Chains A and B, each alone.
Chain A
């Protein structure tokens, strides 16, 4: 089987039964991210130029660092991304993550995550390829039920 290397862009999309504001809070508030994002706390002021940090809930190690590029709550968040949890990915240049939040009919919100500028970060591309679906499924479950996905 071929791996997803040398691919510059990954797109993930899903519908969540929640308001755009709730989805925004789910992405930007540490009390939410610890429940679905591999136990990590998000740390940022979400102002352009501010650091974007994902910090391990238990050890306080910084697992992902980056910088806010654009922030338009509750519609759009764009930041750079470098995975520090692995020496190989930490040595690669920053890639970019864009969260797009679009209200739909019937109390549903569409969330699209685009992870791009991965051409020069192939190890990061492989590392995140399996992770985003799991993380986003967990966010959906948390926002729709108030409970985190059970880890199996």
Chain B
């Protein structure tokens, strides 16, 4: 699996997207805090967090006895820069081609 595959896989699940949204609202939360907003077992939330961590979307830090979870937005930015920009560019150039074609035939 490539890094991109891990990110897309992690984002393919609604619970994991919800966890990222929770961290976007307030970063640096504990498992207990994240779990309290979900109808899911602690073990289930831990599994989802592990997938997010493997994809680099969540980074954990120890603070005393607590493990805090932080949203890492960089992998999403990398996908934006490498995928979305690329296809948007093609769309724009396709429109430019269409314009010149129409103008030539006019």
Contacts and interface: CB of A to CB of B under 8 A. Distances in A.
A60 B69 CA distance: 38
B75 A14 contact: yes
Which bracket fits the contact residues of A?
20 to 34
Contact of B56 (A9, A14, A140): A14
Interface in A100-152: 112, 114, 132-134, 136-137, 140-141, 149-150, 152
Interface string A5-30: 00111111111000000000000000
B78 A140 contact: yes
Contacts of B76: 133
Interface stretch (B8-16, B20-28, B40-48, B97-105): B20-28
B78 A14 contact: yes
B29 to A, nearest CB: 11
Interface of A: 2, 4, 7-15, 112, 114, 132-134, 136-137, 140-141, 149-150, 152
Interface of B: 3, 24-28, 56, 59, 61, 68, 70, 72-78, 81, 85, 88-89
